[in-house]
Each structure stands twice: as structure tokens, then as C-alpha cells.
Structure 1
Amino acid sequence: METASTQLKPTGKQRKQDREKSDVKQTLSLSSSVTKVSEYKVPGVGAVYHISLGKSGRLWVSDNDLYLVQTDLQGNQLLILLTNGGYEGYHTVTQDGDLIYTDKNNKVINKITQDNTITKFIKTEDWGPLSIHSSHINGEILVGMMTDEEAKVTRYNKTGTEIQNIQRDNKGQGLYSEPIYITENINGDVCVSDSEKQAVVVVNKSGQHRFSYTGQGSEFNPYGICTDVLGHILVCDEISNTVHLLDQDGQFLSLLLTEQEGVINMYPRSVCVDDEKNMWVGDIDNIVKVYKYLK
């Protein structure tokens, strides 16, 4: 159950941040096409199925073959781990700059501190954790997890205490089947790529189902997912090999990385947006490409 909280009045600092955010929204809009800014080769992985942007130019990348690599932007490999993760978004950088990652076989979430010490952080009991996201809003941790029979999203606070479970809609139906990627929108919505349901499943902060997005009339198989400062949802689709761009209410806006935009032979599987509003895209090769898509 979600704990009740008292309503606090925004501080002067908070009001200033809110003003700055609304200023950003007024000055930013979608570009008519994407522009490639840079690309990075990632040593030690065969593909890029998930990206976590660390602090001070560090990049965490995982493939579909158990490898998790930390690299700098010059392509130097700083750390390589053999994990139990594959084609899921199984790692995330916390507000403190640590990396946390899921171990679905041992039902635990591990933490790697910035001095590369690895510790067990959260035990998930009978549930195998698949996907994980550390909130940019409050540092809370969202985890998509499964047993053989069911799936759910669990919310933890930053110290690892469980505070919420999201599992069923108001009719008692299971919301998730295989939550392989997870993120949070600026309004607190929890957005999940569910490969079994072939849908993006979105609930509000209290866990009520808002909408499910199943593509544009043809087959749709969602992978990496993220959101941006405008509340857009960006999700990689294995079928069309593009990124679907939605607004925060699930309305389809456009396809990114298409041949019409001059992007050839792109097979995006992971996507994230950095503080400079650039879109980072991981491909089925070992290249990460960075694009501008807002102006």
C-alpha cells in the first residue's frame, strides 16, 4: 500500500525549479527530423540492449548475452561483469551515482558503488527481478518482477524498503506478464514495456491503470523505454525497428529514426535521454548513437 503523506507547500527553491521546468517546456519542441550528434563504440558487448548514463561521462551498457560493461566516452572499458541479465533493462544509476542491477536467478538487486564495490542491496524473496529504474523525481526505485505465474511492479524507497506493489487493475486482472523495461514519467506515471503483452502499460503513481499502447495497427514488440522533460514516452519497437514517440497520455506522435529521416539499417533496442535533451540509442551492434530530436 502506498503510504499517505501530508501536503507540503512548495519552497522558494521548489517554485524556482518549477518555473525553470515550465520555461524549458515553452522553449522546446519536436524537430521535424533527428540529427546525429555522435556515436560511441562499446568494447566488451555484442549488442546494446540497455544504457544507463552515469556521472562524469561514464556509461553502463548491457547486451543480450549476460555482459554488463562500464566505459568512458573515449571507448575505454572500465569494468566488465558477467550477470544474469539479458534483453531487459536490468540496471539503473541512482541519485547518488551508484549502479543497481537485478539478478533474476538469485532474486536479489545488487549495488555497485563508485569505487566498484559490489554489495547485495535488496532481496526480492520469491520474485525474480527483471527491470529496474531509479526515479529522477525522488530517488525511489521501481522494479518489474515475475514468478512462474504472475508479474508485478514493486516500488522501494532509496534505502531499499518496499513501499508499494502494483499488480492488478480495478477489475482484478493482472496488469503485467513480462515487464522487461521500466521507467517513470514527469507526472509520476510508471511506464513498462511488456514483451508478453506486446504493449507499453502505463499506470499512475498510485498504481491505477491509465492506458496500454499496442503500436500503430500492425505488430508491435516494445523494448527499451524512457521519457523526457516534456513528458514524451520514447519506446523502441523490434518490429518496425524505430522508436515510437508518444505523449504522456499515450497518443502516438511520430516514429523516430526512420529511413525518411535518413537513418539506414538501425535496429534500436535501448533508448534514454540525457540532461542536454539528447536521445541515446543502443543498437543490436555494439554502437551507441546520440541524436537531437528536440529544438
Structure 2
Amino acid sequence: MCNYVVAIDDKTLVVTNSAMKKINMVNQDGEVILLKDTKPLYPTFIGRSLDGGILVSMIDKPDFQRQDFSKRVVQHINLTGSIKKTYAYEEDNTTPLFTYPESVTQNTNTDICVINFSSESTGHLCVLHASGKVRFTYKGQSDSESLFFPSDVCCDSHCNIMVSDGVNRSIHLLNSAGQFIKYIMSKTNIVPICMSIINDHLWIGCEKGEIKLLSIKH
């Protein structure tokens, strides 16, 4: 499992320490301050929430075999370390939402977008209302050459959703209702792994350490 970092502002970073099962804040002086001890869960990803807090994907065990006692969750946490909401089950409070939650972000319409791995080679996008109700899931397109295995998700100022699909060397563009619009890029030599949007410019972290920059036009 990797460690992840998110910038809260130009003075503060929040960083996961998966091995130690902790979430830390780092200030501009380099001082590390414990934000939250996540034991017994491993933090697998961290993203920003619209209210200035964080969204954290967490698992009890780094595998794809869910048991009745398994804990695979996304938590909305404020910057004092308090849990505002936990996303774990569908409305019946019985059906698990996630097998292995990874990348997570909050859309500008408040929806929670989560990449959920179901195996070592497959996954899907799960989008929830902020209340926790499932809005839709997206499992890729039928014209893909390989199985859909998304790695990251981000959203633009128009609430559109972008999903990186490194296996198929493409980025899927969806509207806020989960309808496929087009490929932003498809079947290129670029393998997109992670993404970030700043002022409708899409920064793409690629295989072999490359970074690509695209302007998103509406």
C-alpha cells in the first residue's frame, strides 16, 4: 500500500502513513502532527472534501476477500480528527459498499466518488450522494480491449467526472449522472495513473514518471 498526500492550503499538508495506520498533518515548518490514529484500519487514499476536511478510504486487510466481519470504508473527517460521516453500507445497512476502496473525491455537487477495486485486475466507480445513498456505479465501456481497472477519479467545475483507465490507456469523461460522454484520450501511448484538476486544467501522472497537462474545454 502507498502513502498519499493532499494539500489543504499553501501551508498545510495531510499525509497518510499506511504502515503505522495514521493520518498526519505537516505544517510549513515541517512539523508532523498526528491528526488521527486509524487503527485497526489501513488508510489507502486521501482526498479533499468540499468543506475543507478530508475523505479517507480505509480497509482492515489489504486483500480482495471480503468476510462478514470485514471493514472497508470511506470516512469524512474534519481537520480536528473528528469523523463526520462513515460510508460503509448501502441503505439496508447490510450490503457492503466496497471491496477495496481507493481513490476518493467529492464532486462540486457534493457527491462522493470512489474507485472500488473488486479484484487485482477489475474495479468500478461508485458514486454516492453525500447522505450515503448509491447514486450510480460505472463499470467502463464495452469497446474496451481489456477489463476496466480504474485507478483515479477527479471532477471539474461543471460536475463532470473523469476516470483514469491505465490498462486501456484512456480517460473516461462522464456527466454527473454517470452517463458516458467521451474519451478524453484513448488508446494512446500514455498510461494515465493519477489525475488532478486545477482551474479546468487536467494534470495527469503517467507511467514512467511522466506528467501531462490537458486543458478541459466545455
| TM-based fold match above 0.5 | yes
**What is the Cα deviation at residue 220 of structure 1?**
0.5
Q: Which has the higher contact order (CA 8 A, sep 6+)?
A: 1
CA contact (8 A) 2:167 2:191 kept: no
**What is the Cα deviation at residue 141 of structure 1?**
1.2
Q: In the TM superposition, what whole-angstrom CA distance separates every residue of 1:64-105 from its partner, at most 9, and x where no partner exists?
A: xxxxxxxxxxxxxxxxxxxx616xxx2211146411121122
Structure 1 outlier segments of 4+, above 4 Å = none
Matched, 1:281 2:204: yes
* Structure 1, unaligned runs of 5 or more: 1-83
CA contact (8 A) 1:198 1:221 kept: yes
- Structure 2 counterpart of 1:116, one-letter code: G
Matched, 1:198 2:123: yes
Residue in structure 1 matching 2:18, options 91, 104, 124: 104
CA RMSD of aligned residues (A): 1.6
**What is the Cα deviation at residue 293 of structure 1?**
2.3
Aligned partners of 1:224 and 1:97: how far apart in 2?
A: 25
CA contact (8 A) 2:126 2:136 kept: yes
Aligned partners of 2:191 and 2:153: how far apart in 1?
A: 14
Structure 1 partner of 2:66: none
Aligned partners of 1:157 and 1:111: how far apart in 2?
A: 12
Q: In the TM superposition, what whole-angstrom CA distance separates every residue of 1:165-187 from its partner, at most 9, and x where no partner exists?
A: 11001232110111111101011
Aligned partners of 1:255 and 1:132: how far apart in 2?
A: 26
CA contact (8 A) 1:152 1:165 kept: yes
- Structure 2 counterpart of 1:278, one-letter code: H
- Structure 1 counterpart of 2:194, one-letter code: S
Aligned partners of 2:25 and 2:78: how far apart in 1?
A: 14
Residue in structure 1 matching 2:95, options 173, 176, 179: 173
97 and 252 in structure 1: CA distance in 2 versus 1, 3 angstrom threshold: farther
Matched, 1:132 2:65: no
Aligned partners of 1:232 and 1:115: how far apart in 2?
A: 36
Matched, 1:265 2:189: yes
Residue in structure 2 matching 1:147, options 60, 82, 90: 60
**What is the Cα deviation at residue 238 of structure 1?**
2.4
**What is the Cα deviation at residue 158 of structure 1?**
2.3
Q: Which TM-score applies when normalising by structure 1?
A: 0.65
Structure 2 partner of 1:65: none
Q: Which TM-score applies when normalising by structure 2?
A: 0.87
Fraction of identical pairs, as percent = 28
Aligned partners of 2:195 and 2:84: how far apart in 1?
A: 28
Alignment of 1:107-118 (within 5 A): 107-118=21-32
**What is the Cα deviation at residue 258 of structure 1?**
2.6
CA contact (8 A) 1:190 1:204 kept: yes
Counterpart of 1:222 in 2: which secondary structure?
coil
Q: In the TM superposition, what whole-angstrom CA distance separates every residue of 1:201-256 from its partner, at most 9, and x where no partner exists?
A: 11111111111110012421010111010001111112211111111111111111
CA contact (8 A) 2:168 2:186 kept: no
Counterpart of 1:294 in 2: which secondary structure?
coil
Between structures 1 and 2, the one with greater helix share: 1
